[in-house]
Structure 1
């Protein structure tokens, strides 16, 4: 790999991270809450350990985030029928509403940003982002 290409990618990723935070900060959810709610909506009720594993975070971080979302009414704790000490989190209707509202805002912003891109450029960008994120999951 050419060092200069890696340096360009590194810098552009840094800018992307900063810009994504500013684009996403218009809602009531932060990135962590968005991803946690998205995972719960996609998978259904799930335990903290499995949720932490799927988000690639430690259990204490996910537990703290889920507890905060529970206090806001976005998730609820569901007891395990077989082990009363264990529980899962489940997204609530309010959580789904907030998730969808936040997601819609993000999608509108991305549409604005990509409005002058050709469809093949948008498709290539999406494919490359997916490929890059899959590489990160292997870490």
Structure 2
């Protein structure tokens, strides 16, 4: 008998391979948001303005990577640099009105794709699947050092 974790591993590999909800997965319109910007803006939306150091800690990425990502998002008009609202020395990044609008458009496009994929699923199955995904992601977060992703 195949261990259930082997089945999960295989299905997770296929999910990442499909890339449906990431770059080039059939949903991106010309000028659509890059995956890294989508994730970055999603985190800042839930948590509020964040510094490079806070982003580095949250994403477990080095500051140079986040400097590149935030600089691109600032150039695209998705983020802006602001003084720390709490009076700290480090400047923070906040989503702009255009960033909010673009993030909402991307999210709605993804939800539309998921609606299509799960069109024949009962709502109870979709809710259960969402619960399992949350539990799975929470387990990953716990395993990689307790960096829980804030959830709305």
TM-score normalized by structure 1? Answer: 0.87
Q: Find 2:55's aligned residue among 51, 55, 65.
A: 51
Structure 2 equivalent of residue 73 of structure 1: 77
- CA drift of 1:3 comes to 5.2
- CA drift of 1:82 comes to 4.8
Report the number of matched residues: 135
CA gap of 1:67–1:120, structure 2 versus 1, over 3 A, is same
Unaligned 5+ runs, structure 1: none
> How is 1:75-90 mapped onto 2 (pairs within 5 angstroms)?
75-80=79-84, 81-83=87-89, 86-90=90-94
Between Structure 1 and Structure 2, the one with more helix by share is 1
- CA drift of 1:55 comes to 2.8
Structure 2 equivalent of residue 91 of structure 1: 95
Structure 2 equivalent of residue 31 of structure 1: 35
Structure 1 equivalent of residue 6 of structure 2: 7
Alignment of 1:118 with 2:116, yes or no, is no
RMSD across aligned C-alpha pairs, in angstroms? 1.8
Structure 2 equivalent of residue 22 of structure 1: 20
- CA drift of 1:64 comes to 1.3
2-side partners of 1:69 and 1:107: how far apart?
A: 23
Structure 2 equivalent of residue 137 of structure 1: 141
2-side partners of 1:11 and 1:43: how far apart?
A: 33
CA gap of 1:17–1:82, structure 2 versus 1, over 3 A, is closer
